[in-house]
Amino acid sequence: MTQTAIMQTDLDRLAERVEKAASLVQQLREERGRLERERNELAARVSKLEERLQGQDVAVLMDDLSSLRREQRDWQGERRDVASRIETLIKKLEKLEA
Protein backbone atom coordinates (compact mmCIF):
# COMPACT_ATOMS: atom_id res chain seq x y z
CA MET A 1 0.00 0.00 0.00
CA THR A 2 1.36 3.37 -0.90
CA GLN A 3 1.81 6.23 1.53
CA THR A 4 -0.93 8.20 -0.29
CA ALA A 5 -3.41 5.33 0.01
CA ILE A 6 -2.67 4.95 3.72
CA MET A 7 -3.13 8.67 4.29
CA GLN A 8 -6.41 8.62 2.35
CA THR A 9 -7.68 5.70 4.43
CA ASP A 10 -6.69 7.48 7.63
CA LEU A 11 -8.41 10.64 6.45
CA ASP A 12 -11.55 8.70 5.56
CA ARG A 13 -11.65 7.13 9.03
CA LEU A 14 -11.03 10.48 10.66
CA ALA A 15 -13.78 12.11 8.60
CA GLU A 16 -16.18 9.33 9.59
CA ARG A 17 -15.33 9.76 13.28
CA VAL A 18 -15.77 13.53 13.06
CA GLU A 19 -19.14 13.11 11.34
CA LYS A 20 -20.29 10.70 14.05
CA ALA A 21 -19.09 13.06 16.78
CA ALA A 22 -20.81 16.02 15.13
CA SER A 23 -24.01 14.01 14.86
CA LEU A 24 -23.78 13.09 18.53
CA VAL A 25 -23.18 16.71 19.49
CA GLN A 26 -26.27 17.73 17.51
CA GLN A 27 -28.35 15.04 19.23
CA LEU A 28 -27.12 16.17 22.64
CA ARG A 29 -27.94 19.79 21.82
CA GLU A 30 -31.45 18.79 20.76
CA GLU A 31 -31.83 16.75 23.93
CA ARG A 32 -30.61 19.67 26.02
CA GLY A 33 -33.12 21.96 24.30
CA ARG A 34 -35.91 19.47 24.95
CA LEU A 35 -34.91 19.16 28.60
CA GLU A 36 -34.77 22.93 28.99
CA ARG A 37 -38.25 23.30 27.46
CA GLU A 38 -39.53 20.56 29.73
CA ARG A 39 -37.93 22.23 32.76
CA ASN A 40 -39.50 25.55 31.82
CA GLU A 41 -42.91 23.91 31.42
CA LEU A 42 -42.54 22.28 34.82
CA ALA A 43 -41.51 25.58 36.38
CA ALA A 44 -44.61 27.21 34.90
CA ARG A 45 -46.78 24.39 36.26
CA VAL A 46 -45.19 24.80 39.69
CA SER A 47 -45.89 28.50 39.59
CA LYS A 48 -49.54 27.94 38.65
CA LEU A 49 -49.93 25.32 41.36
CA GLU A 50 -48.39 27.63 43.93
CA GLU A 51 -50.89 30.32 42.98
CA ARG A 52 -53.82 27.89 43.22
CA LEU A 53 -52.68 26.46 46.53
CA GLN A 54 -52.30 29.72 48.38
CA GLY A 55 -54.15 29.49 51.70
CA GLN A 56 -53.94 25.68 51.73
CA ASP A 57 -52.49 23.45 54.46
CA VAL A 58 -48.87 24.50 55.01
CA ALA A 59 -47.64 20.96 55.79
CA VAL A 60 -49.02 19.65 52.50
CA LEU A 61 -47.53 22.57 50.64
CA MET A 62 -44.14 21.95 52.22
CA ASP A 63 -44.25 18.29 51.19
CA ASP A 64 -45.13 19.30 47.65
CA LEU A 65 -42.38 21.86 47.65
CA SER A 66 -39.84 19.30 48.84
CA SER A 67 -40.89 16.94 46.09
CA LEU A 68 -40.59 19.66 43.48
CA ARG A 69 -37.17 20.67 44.74
CA ARG A 70 -35.96 17.07 44.48
CA GLU A 71 -37.31 16.93 40.95
CA GLN A 72 -35.59 20.21 40.14
CA ARG A 73 -32.26 18.90 41.47
CA ASP A 74 -32.68 15.80 39.33
CA TRP A 75 -33.29 17.93 36.23
CA GLN A 76 -30.36 20.15 37.04
CA GLY A 77 -28.16 17.08 37.43
CA GLU A 78 -29.29 15.75 34.07
CA ARG A 79 -28.69 19.14 32.50
CA ARG A 80 -25.17 19.24 33.94
CA ASP A 81 -24.52 15.72 32.62
CA VAL A 82 -25.70 16.67 29.13
CA ALA A 83 -23.65 19.87 29.19
CA SER A 84 -20.59 17.93 30.34
CA ARG A 85 -21.03 15.36 27.59
CA ILE A 86 -21.37 18.11 24.99
CA GLU A 87 -18.32 19.88 26.34
CA THR A 88 -16.28 16.68 26.20
CA LEU A 89 -17.35 16.01 22.62
CA ILE A 90 -16.56 19.55 21.56
CA LYS A 91 -13.08 19.25 23.07
CA LYS A 92 -12.59 15.99 21.18
CA LEU A 93 -13.72 17.62 17.95
CA GLU A 94 -11.35 20.52 18.54
CA LYS A 95 -8.50 18.06 19.05
CA LEU A 96 -9.43 16.29 15.84
CA GLU A 97 -9.46 19.56 13.95
CA ALA A 98 -6.05 20.58 15.31
Q: How many Cβ atoms sit within 10 Å of the Cβ of residue 13?
A: 10
SS3 49: helix
What pTM does this model have? 0.45
Mean pLDDT, rounded, for 12-41 = 92
- How many alpha carbons fall within 13 Å on the CB side of residue 50? 10
SS3 58: helix
Q: How far apart are CA 54 and CA 61, in angstroms?
A: 9
How does residue 39 score in pLDDT terms, banded at 50, 70 and 90? very high
Rg from Cα positions in the chain: 23
Mean pLDDT, rounded, for 65-79 = 93
